[in-house]
Amino acid sequence: MLTYRSNMASFVFRTTLLRCAARSVATKYRTPNRWRSEQSYATAEDNKGPKIYTKTGDKGFSSTFTGERRPKEDHIFEALGNTDELSSAIGLAREFCLEKGHTFIHQLDKIQCILQDVGSNIATPRSSARDSHIKKTKFTSQPIADLETWIDNFTNELPPLTNFILPSGGKSSAALHLARTVCRRAERSVAPIVRSGEADQDVAKFLNRLSDYLFTVARYAAMKEGNEEKIYKRPE
């Protein structure tokens, strides 16, 4: 259901994108509430209609939510791409965790949705944003507080860390570690955007806290599955 919903959201994104080519990215980075209301307007006609590609990016330029055209190697698209990759890495880890019946799936689901909001914020450079853009893409601090609560709860159940842990501990755990490293890349790419005032500070804080969450939940998954985590040993 959830996958269907997200496919649907992306489909509606795309169809709207084609209908409103001049506002291309504006449609792709809408707030979740806006997506939901648009989904209810999707019709059978929409389903037959436009293609997924607009070809507007073929010359190596794309659009921000504010309508600026920038080269694809711009910091903004780099950060958007890393955030997208992060959500995909979490999605894969989630599938392994689901197979093992882990209880934190709902947290991963929520995080993937928040990452869409991270993308909206990054795609809206403050220097060219109108008030309405800023209002729609504002990133709140609540998701950071949620991550901190989840980290603290898992940490209370885990044995204390006494060694360097290496990515291991079964498929769920190793996939969560991989997502953690992608998260750190996303954080690095967001840093200059936040520093220059183009995105909200809380976006950087969220990504920083998210890598700690992914580390902690990776350890938790290994513990719950009864898998040993590899620890660093100095090579003989």
Ligand X SMILES: Nc1ncnc2c1ncn2[C@@H]1O[C@H](COP(=O)(O)OP(=O)(O)OP(=O)(O)O)[C@@H](O)[C@H]1O
Beta bridge pairs of residue 69:
63
Rounded-to-integer distance, Cα 2 and Cα 152, Å: 27
Nearer to ligand X among residue 41 and residue 53 (C-beta): 53
Site mask, ligand X, residues 87-126, x = CB under 6 A? ------------------------------------x---
Of the residues 25, 165, 179, 182, which one makes contact with ligand X according to CB under 6 A: 25
CA nearest to 80, candidates 203, 180, 169, 175: 203
Q: Which residues within the stretch 121-140 sit at the binding site for ligand X (CB under 6 A)?
A: 123
State the minimum distance, in angstroms, from the CB of residue 29 to ligand X.
7
The single-letter DSSP state of residue 22 is G
Rounded-to-integer distance, Cα 86 and Cα 89, Å: 5
Selected range binding ligand X among 56-64, 90-98, 156-164, 178-186, rule: CB under 6 A:
56-64
Nearer to ligand X among residue 17 and residue 97 (C-beta): 17
Structure tokens belonging to residue 172: 């769920």
Rounded-to-integer distance, Cα 12 and Cα 124, Å: 20
Place of tokens 């994108």: 17
State the minimum distance, in angstroms, from the CB of residue 18 to ligand X.
9
Q: Which residues contact 120 (CB under 8 A, 6 or more apart)?
A: 29, 30, 31, 65, 136, 137
State the minimum distance, in angstroms, from the CB of residue 77 to ligand X.
4
Q: Is 54 in the site for ligand X (CB under 6 A)?
A: yes
Rounded-to-integer distance, Cα 50 and Cα 216, Å: 43
Place of tokens 């350890």: 219
Of the residues 12, 66, 75, 77, which one makes contact with ligand X according to CB under 6 A: 77
Q: Is 58 in the site for ligand X (CB under 6 A)?
A: yes
Give the number of residues in contact with ligand X, rule: CB under 6 A.
16
Q: Is 50 in the site for ligand X (CB under 6 A)?
A: no
Binding residues for ligand X (CB under 6 A): 24-25, 28, 53-58, 62-63, 72, 77, 80-81, 123
